[in-house]
Chain A
Amino acid sequence: MIERICGICSHAHTTCYTQAVEEALKVDLPPRAKYIRTVVAELERIHNHYFWLGILAHEIGFDTLFMYTWRDREIVMNLLELISGNRVQYAMNIIGGVRRDIMPSLSSEIMKGVKILAERMTYYKKVCLDEKTILARCVNVGVLKAKDAISLCAVGPTLRASNVRRDVRADDPYAAYDEIPFHVVTYDGCDVASRIATRCDEVLESVKIIRYALEHLPTGSIEVIVSRVVPSAETIARVEAPRGENIHYLRSNGTDKPARYKVRAPTLANLPALCRMLIGGYVADIPVVIAGIDPCFCCMDRLAFADTNTDKTWSWEGERLRKYGVKWYKKK
């Protein structure tokens, strides 16, 4: 059920949940299960960042890039389907391990797939950072200084694009991240352009993690048998989801159902920072700045405006605002 919290980061939520339960049960995962979890988590990060780049391009009005990135996203979705049997809701995690194993033949498929994905992302990064239309909409837009980002508790790529080196994978390693060498990507531009660059580099970093994990995949079982009843305990688990830090709180009461469960998804943590980014900007920039934090709020975007000079109020839905932004920049 936890998987249905989010359609894009379904693996991150289940990883967080299983970690919380495994801590309450005091079980240790077999190393192979940890590595498989890591591989799926990183493929999911690639999937999410490709998806996000497409959305951002669409908000800018650059639909060509949107189509290309979404076409290439199919590669990673097919890989995930091969591994888990489903494109979006992978259901890979079970308490005490993972559901399916990665066979050597599948492993070589993944290697082939991520090679193409890395090449394409290198190209998209070049396009995004050279292309005048993108730069005009993203540089110095939605600025969030490092000091504000820390005080407003921003998370994930939003925080790292403000030059704060913080990542749960590195700071509080879970799964196999303590054994895999990787680099935490940061940029110091503090604007939407550096959020693009951060995410592009994170994809390339994820590809390296996947390659390392598949080459060093330990042998052994992929799950341990655990008891159905969880003893009374109180645990908190943290996971670096593609969008940022994910926190799950669990209280169990000695039965097989949780007594209390609380989820803090990354979008909620980024909202105060988002409010700061919007201050002093143009109305036409609102869609891009909102898309910049990679929000996940049911696509129920509607905005209420109030003009303090004329006391006029009105509301626009997201699509109207997007069209306004694109038109406004065309005239400029």
Chain B
Amino acid sequence: MISVSMEKELVKHLVRKAATLRYPFDKFPPVEGLRGKHVWDREKCVGCGLCARDCPSSAIEMIGKGLTAELKINLGRCLFCGQCEDGCPREAIKLTQVYELAESDRKKLVLEFKREST
């Protein structure tokens, strides 16, 4: 049943562009400051382990300690709260604006950051 009080509104919308996008062909640009996929700067990281300790969902695992420490981030557990980024004393972890993170295999959700073998 079409309402009387909405008639004007409905007519107005006949000539308007659709509000939705044809995803995945069209995409909204991510906003500045979006919390998405992590990047790790191995040069800056001192392996203090604060990120792993602070992470509310235990998504971050630090393998080893100190300057040789490597990082494992499980995106399946991650809340994208940004605590690791805020807590890092050296700004070694950053959240980027990459937001399309769906995977069909759970194992692919684990990001492994390694130090180059020297």
Chain A contact residues, CB within 8 Å of chain B = 1, 3-4, 62, 64-65, 68, 71, 74, 78, 81-82, 85-86, 89, 91, 94, 99-100, 123, 126-127, 130-133
Contact = CB atoms under 8 A, between A and B. Distances in A.
Contact of A131 (B6, B57, B82, B83): B6
Interface string B2-20: 1111100110000000010
A202 B57 CA distance: 35
Interface in B30-47: 31-35
A78 B33 CA distance: 12
A85 B57 contact: no
26 contacts: A1-B57, A1-B79, A3-B81, A64-B6, A64-B10, A65-B6, A71-B19, A74-B19, A78-B31, A81-B34, A85-B31, A85-B34, A85-B95, A86-B80, A89-B79, A89-B80, A91-B35, A91-B82, A91-B83, A100-B33, A123-B9, A126-B5, A127-B5, A131-B3, A132-B3, A132-B4
A295 to B, nearest CB: 25
Interface of B: 1-6, 9-10, 19, 31-35, 56-57, 79-83, 86, 95
A187 to B, nearest CB: 20
Contacts of A132: 3-4
Contacts of B82: 85, 91, 99
Given A91-B82, A100-B33, 16 more contacts: A1-B57, A64-B2, A64-B3, A64-B6, A78-B31, A85-B31, A86-B34, A86-B35, A89-B79, A91-B35, A91-B83, A94-B83, A99-B82, A99-B86, A130-B5, A131-B4
